[in-house]
């Protein structure tokens, strides 16, 4: 009998977890484990919501009506009952908490909570719900060893119930979509100019001001350097707050972009200055396109980057260390790219889309085997 699976997500806007969820759903379309329902706890549906509908998924939007919305919880519970769902794959702690409460009490549907980062958010009540959820669910899924430690140390999840499945990237599709020369032409960046990219939304944990300061320091030693920042909150309106002293021909603030592969492929290095990460997609994607990475030593970045020649991992608060590492990579861009290319077989084996999909399905099969038999 075909299993009845639902996916519950906090939102479908720009974000690494949202991109991973969309990739998983696209890969499962037409397969026995294709989910019957996708429930989104937000009206933020761009860019990943419309393609799911085009693929034929049932997408139900349950927008927020308050800090803790009982009506939204009741509607989610009703949807799970109507579709006779056996397994809920919930993305992010908020969606996991709602899914667990909607399924309570009882053993069906089984809820698989997932954690994509290492922050629980504010509120003692919310943390209490998360802790009880993780102690009662038979499995919890994370995408990094850092996430696993967070679930144990902060939220009290039993270590034996945590499964780690790293993010997965379709490297062939990624390379096919990248147009680095066209991107440089569009932005007026000469082919020979060294270029560093930052890709990510402007949030506290991403610490964009630190990235700006690294660019500023590097420009002092390498005046021909160009930089592009892309992501939510990083358009020209942010210049006065982030970098009023940097001219647009040195630092381009692009805002959200749909051509991220082109940006990453056009760059000579990716810069990541976050205070916290799990398994950042952007690092995997940059390396998959042959672009070395300079990153804070956060999450599983060091394991993803691999050999030192493919990038550098530095203490997150040391601006000079970032700038020095970036300068070393840019001093011999061809050698840095060659070092990244040597890492590609390892990256494809550990962080390919197929590995992520099959790792997730292995957990689904385990949980469904434990679930009560469904009445036809």
Domain 171-351 CATH assignment equals 3.60.20.10? no
Task: Using the predicted structure, report yes or no on whether residue 329 has a pLDDT greater than 70.
Answer: yes
Mind listing the pLDDT tens digit for each residue in 156-200?
Answer: 999 999 999 999 999 999 999 999 999 999 999 999 999 999 999
What pLDDT, on a 0 to 100 scale, did the predictor assign at position 373? 60
What pLDDT, on a 0 to 100 scale, did the predictor assign at position 95? 95
For 374, counting Cβ atoms within 10 Å of its Cβ (0-12 exposed, 13-18 middle, 19+ buried), the class is middle
Q: How far apart are CA 258 and CA 149, in angstroms?
A: 33
Task: Using the predicted structure, report yes or no on whether residue 368 has a pLDDT greater than 90.
Answer: yes
pLDDT band per the 50, 70, 90 thresholds, residue 120 = low
Whole-number mean pLDDT of the chain? 93
Q: Is 171-351 the same fold as 5-168+353-370?
A: yes
Alpha helices in 12-144, H assignment, sequence order = 16-28, 49-54, 70-82, 93-103, 124-136
Q: How far apart are CA 69 and CA 92, in angstroms?
A: 17
Identify the three-state secondary structure at position 281. helix
Task: Using the predicted structure, report yes or no on whether residue 330 has a pLDDT greater than 70.
Answer: yes
- Residues 40 and 11 sit within 8 Å (Cβ to Cβ): yes
Domain 5-168+353-370 CATH assignment equals 3.40.1390.20? no
Cβ-proximal residues to 25 (8 Å cutoff; 6+ apart), any chain: 7, 35, 38, 52, 55, 57
- Residues 120 and 114 sit within 8 Å (Cβ to Cβ): no
Mean per-residue pLDDT for 305-311? 83
Going from N- to C-terminal start, the domains of the chain cover 5-168+353-370, 171-351
What pLDDT, on a 0 to 100 scale, did the predictor assign at position 118? 63
Single pTM value for the model:
0.90
Q: How far apart are CA 101 and CA 104, in angstroms?
A: 5
């Amino acid at each position: 009998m075909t299993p009845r699976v639902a996916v519950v997500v906090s939102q479908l806007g720009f974000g690494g977890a949202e991109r991973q969820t969309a990739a998983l759903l696209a890969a499962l379309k037409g397969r026995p484990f294709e989910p019957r329902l996708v429930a989104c706890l937000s009206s933020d549906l761009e860019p990943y919501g419309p393609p799911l509908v085009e693929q034929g998924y049932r997408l139900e939007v349950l927008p927020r009506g308050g800090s803790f919305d009982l009506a939204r919880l009741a509607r989610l519970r009703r949807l799970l009952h109507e579709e006779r769902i056996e397994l809920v794959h919930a993305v992010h702690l908020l969606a996991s908490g709602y899914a667990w409460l909607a399924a309570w009490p009882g053993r069906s549907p089984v809820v698989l909570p997932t954690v994509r980062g290492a922050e629980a958010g504010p509120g003692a009540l919310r943390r209490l719900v998360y802790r009880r959820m993780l102690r009662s669910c038979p499995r919890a899924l994370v995408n990094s060893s850092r996430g696993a430690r967070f679930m144990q140390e902060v939220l009290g999840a039993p270590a034996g119930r945590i499964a780690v499945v790293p993010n997965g990237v379709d490297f062939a599709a990624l390379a096919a979509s990248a147009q680095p020369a066209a991107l440089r032409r569009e932005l007026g960046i000469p082919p020979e100019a060294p270029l560093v990219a930052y890709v990510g939304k402007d949030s506290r944990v991403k610490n964009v001001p630190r990235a700006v300061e690294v660019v500023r320091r590097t420009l002092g030693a390498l005046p021909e350097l160009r930089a592009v920042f892309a992501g939510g909150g990083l358009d020209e309106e942010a210049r006065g707050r982030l970098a009023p002293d940097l001219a647009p021909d040195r630092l381009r603030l692009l805002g959200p972009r749909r051509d991220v592969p082109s940006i990453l492929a056009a760059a000579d290095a990716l810069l990541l200055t976050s205070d916290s990460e799990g398994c950042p997609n952007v690092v995997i994607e940059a390396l998959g396109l042959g672009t070395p990475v300079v990153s804070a030593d956060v999450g599983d970045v060091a394991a993803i980057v691999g050999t030192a020649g493919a990038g550098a991992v530095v203490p997150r608060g040391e601006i000079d260390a970032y700038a020095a590492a970036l300068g070393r990579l840019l001093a011999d861009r061809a050698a840095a790219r060659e070092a990244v290319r040597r890492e590609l077989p390892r990256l494809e084996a550990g962080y390919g889309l197929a590995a992520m999909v099959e790792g997730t399905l292995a957990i689904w099969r385990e949980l469904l085997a434990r679930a009560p038999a469904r009445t036809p």
